[in-house]
């Protein structure tokens, strides 16, 4: 840890702090400094549009210049694009996380192909790597929405502290957002603890640096057999001298050391390089007061927020922090079971006994006994979602319209989304074993309707919502 702080350029931390919460955790003192200099802007409440903190914050994000990458992040960039680190010699991080596609795949496969022979297939859709920089470390704790809070750095610090103390096996359940929104605190389970944050669809990698080992050692992905093999590849790479310069000549003495620093460098690249969080979508220009939404997009935005219609914003938070400094991330970083239909395009699903149940496994192993977690997946941010070709953790939906339609028709027209069993009856939530189907969220709109009811959104409204989601694609003015 000490080497990390030493090699990390503090001036960059200060430049990035307003936009990058993770740094607040790494370097609290540097961040406090930068926040206090920005304080006067936040203090003057909306006197003129130019002084409105939300507008000022959005303008500041649009105008922000890319600070030079630190040496560690430069190293991370080389590692990110290096195919020699894979078992096949053909695959780098960028093969699945393409920079031209919001760091998601450039193809429409539900799951990607990898492995030493480039013939294995994974079990999950590849997420975009954009806007992960503020994801809190995985924790099980009180329900609090980080983006709502006044002081982000304090929340992050509290979460980090709780993580450190957290012991597994505490009782929790998924939160009923409707109760929280209605201020119904007795039902809102204010003392109840909810899983939140972390990397991957199941949050099993607590933080960004923890995540990198996953793909590099996964036999279906970059397929290194073990840490020694990976360390040998790092040592043979063109940047091995950089690693020795940055982390000391002993860096290649143990895989723990070498791999830990390589993962740290990958995370620094993703945190520092603005291409991972440019905040320059049409929606950001709209927040900055530089462009209007079209009538269709504005209607979509309203439906997205309306608790009785889309109700999307109850999980995909779309407001900037009150001081305007943090742009909306379109996620509350919490976990929900939405009951996505089984995707038979995934080879593993040919085995009827195989179930990907997110938080409770099988990829994640520490919560296997928490039955109330079965079927829960992390709420993804929706920025750049319109550039994706497959949706949800298993890539079962192939258009954004279908993903939205599923929300409003899952309960009202289940026969459209789920297959029929031998008895001719529809099998709702067919991707989960029968005993875990009760975990699926029925309380939050738009799921709170019954079979045959009118869906919460009609086809025209679905079009409006999709038009709004398209305003979240980065590079609007380019
Ligand atoms: C074969 C395709 C593939 C390759 C190569 C790959 N990834 Fe991924 N990546 C995935 C998949 C699939 C997931 C989701 C995994 C899960 O939920 O279990 C993922 C998830 C992630 C996440 C978490 C995102 C989130 O929303 O929580 C990060 C960060 C990430 N990858 C970074 C990397 C890095 C860094 C590399 C290179 C060392 C890399 N990936 C290589 C397929 C890939
Ligand atoms: C109760 C919380 C909740 C609500 C309400 C909600 N979502 Fe989601 N959303 C999630 C979760 C959790 C996932 C991931 C589920 C999975 O993969 O199994 C998700 C996934 C998505 C995806 C796929 C993203 C991707 O990268 O594949 C889209 C699109 C989406 N939501 C849009 C919406 C829209 C539009 C609404 C409103 C109609 C909405 N969501 C309401 C929690 C929610």
Give the mean pLDDT per block of 10 residues along the chain (478 residues). 30 34 35 36 47 94 95 98 95 96 95 89 96 96 61 46 36 42 44 87 93 90 93 97 97 95 97 97 97 98 97 97 95 97 96 97 95 97 98 98 98 97 97 97 92 97 98 94
Provide the whole-model pTM.
Answer: 0.86
Report the nearest-CA residue for atom 11 of ligand 1. 126
Instruction: With beta carbons less than 8 A apart as the criterion, state whether 194 and 172 touch.
Output: yes
Residues of the chain with CATH 1.10.760.10: 71-131+205-275, 279-478
How close is the Cα of 92 to the center of ligand 1, in Å?
Answer: 11
pLDDT recorded at residue 177: 52
Q: How far is 354 from 392, CA to CA, in rounded Å?
A: 18
- Residues 454 and 26: their CA atoms lie apart, in Å, by 49
Q: Residue 95 belongs to what H/E stretch?
A: helix 93-96
Which pLDDT does position 169 carry in this prediction? 30
pLDDT of residue 15: 33
212, 267 in Cβ contact below 8 A?
yes
> Which residue's CA is the nearest one to ligand 1's atom 1?
221
Please say whether the dihedral angle defined by the alpha carbons of residues 198, 284, 124 and 441, taken in this order, is positive or negative. positive
How high is the pLDDT of residue 49? 63
Rounded to whole angstroms, the Cα distance separating 24 from 206 reads 17
Ligand 1 touching residue 222 (CB < 6 A): yes
Interatomic CA distance for residues 466 and 431, integer angstroms: 26
**Beta strand spans in 86-222 (E):** 113-114, 120-121, 139-142, 193-196
Q: Report the separation in Å between the CA atom of 303 and the middle of ligand 2, taken as the mean of its atom positions.
A: 14
Q: Is the CB of 73 under 6 A from ligand 2?
A: no
- β-partners of residue 170 are none
Mutate to test the pocket of ligand 1, among 214, 223, 376 (most ligand atoms within 8 A of CB): 214
CATH topology classification for 279-478: Cytochrome Bc1 Complex; Chain D, domain 2 (1.10.760)
The CATH code of the domain at 71-131+205-275 is: 1.10.760.10
310 lines ligand 2 (CB under 6 A): yes
- Per-residue pLDDT at 142: 84
The finding on whether 215 has its CB within 6 A of some atom of ligand 2 is: no
Contacts of 130 (CB under 8 A, 6+ apart): 102, 103, 276, 277, 381, 383, 384, 474
Pocket perturbation via mutation, ligand 2, pick of 283, 297, 373, 407 by most ligand atoms within 8 A of CB: 407
Ligand 2 contact, 404 CB (< 6 A):
yes
CB 189 within 8 A of CB 195: no
Q: Mark 387-408 as b/e (b = at least 16 C-beta within 10 Å).
A: bbbbbbbbbbbeebeebbbbbb
Q: End-to-end distance of the chain based on CA atoms, in angstroms? A: 39
The H or E element that residue 38 is part of is helix 28-43
State if residue 105 touches ligand 2 by the CB under 6 angstroms criterion. no
What pLDDT was estimated at residue 221?
92
What pLDDT, on the 0 to 100 scale, is given for residue 356?
Answer: 98
């Amino acid at each position: 840890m000490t080497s990390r702080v030493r090699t990390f350029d503090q001036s960059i931390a200060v430049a990035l702090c307003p936009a990058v919460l993770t740094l607040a955790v790494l370097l609290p003192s540097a961040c406090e400094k930068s926040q206090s200099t920005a304080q006067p802007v936040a203090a003057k409440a909306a006197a003129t549009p130019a002084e409105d903190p939300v507008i000022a914050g959005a303008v500041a994000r649009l105008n922000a210049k890319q600070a030079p990458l630190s040496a560690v992040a430069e190293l991370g960039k080389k590692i990110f694009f290096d195919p020699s680190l894979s078992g096949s010699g053909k695959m780098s991080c960028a093969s699945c996380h393409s920079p031209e596609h919001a760091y998601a795949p450039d193809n429409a496969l539900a799951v990607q192909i990898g492995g030493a022979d480039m013939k294995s297939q994974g079990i999950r859709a590849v997420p975009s790597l954009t806007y992960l920089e503020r994801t809190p470390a995985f924790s099980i704790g009180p329900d609090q929405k980080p983006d709502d809070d006044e002081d982000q750095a304090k929340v992050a610090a509290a979460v980090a502290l709780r993580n450190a103390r957290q012991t597994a096996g505490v009782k929790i359940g998924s939160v009923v957002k409707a109760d929280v929104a209605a201020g119904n605190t007795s039902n809102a389970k204010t003392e109840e603890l909810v899983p939140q944050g972390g990397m991957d669809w199941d949050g099993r990698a607590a933080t960004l640096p923890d995540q990198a080992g996953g793909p590099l050692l996964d036999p279906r992905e970059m397929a290194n057999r073990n840490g020694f093999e990976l360390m040998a590849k790092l040592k043979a790479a063109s940047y091995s001298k950089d690693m020795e310069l940055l982390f000391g000549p002993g860096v290649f003495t143990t895989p723990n050391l070498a791999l830990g620093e390589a993962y740290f460098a990958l995370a620094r690249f993703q945190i520092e390089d603005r291409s991972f969080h440019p905040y320059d979508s049409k929606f950001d220009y709209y927040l900055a007061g530089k462009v209007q939404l079209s009538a269709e997009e504005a209607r979509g935005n309203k439906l997205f927020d309306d608790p009785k219609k889309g109700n999307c914003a109850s999980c995909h938070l779309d407001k900037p922090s009150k001081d305007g400094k943090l742009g909306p991330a379109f996620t509350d970083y919490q976990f929900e079971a939405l009951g996505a239909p089984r995707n038979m395009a995934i080879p593993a699903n040919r085995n009827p006994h195989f179930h990907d149940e997110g938080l409770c496994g099988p990829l994640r192993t520490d919560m296997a006994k928490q039955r109330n977690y079965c079927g829960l997946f992390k709420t993804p941010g929706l920025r750049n979602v319109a550039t994706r070709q497959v949706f949800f953790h298993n890539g079962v939906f192939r258009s954004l319209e279908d993903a939205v339609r599923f929300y409003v028709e899952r309960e009202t027209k289940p026969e459209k989304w789920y297959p029929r069993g031998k008895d001719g009856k529809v099998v709702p939530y067919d991707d989960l074993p029968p005993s875990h189907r009760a975990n699926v969220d029925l309380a939050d709109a738009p799921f709170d309707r019954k079979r045959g009811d009118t869906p919460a959104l009609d086809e025209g409204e679905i079009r409006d919502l999709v038009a709004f989601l398209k305003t979240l694609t980065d590079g609007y003015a380019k």
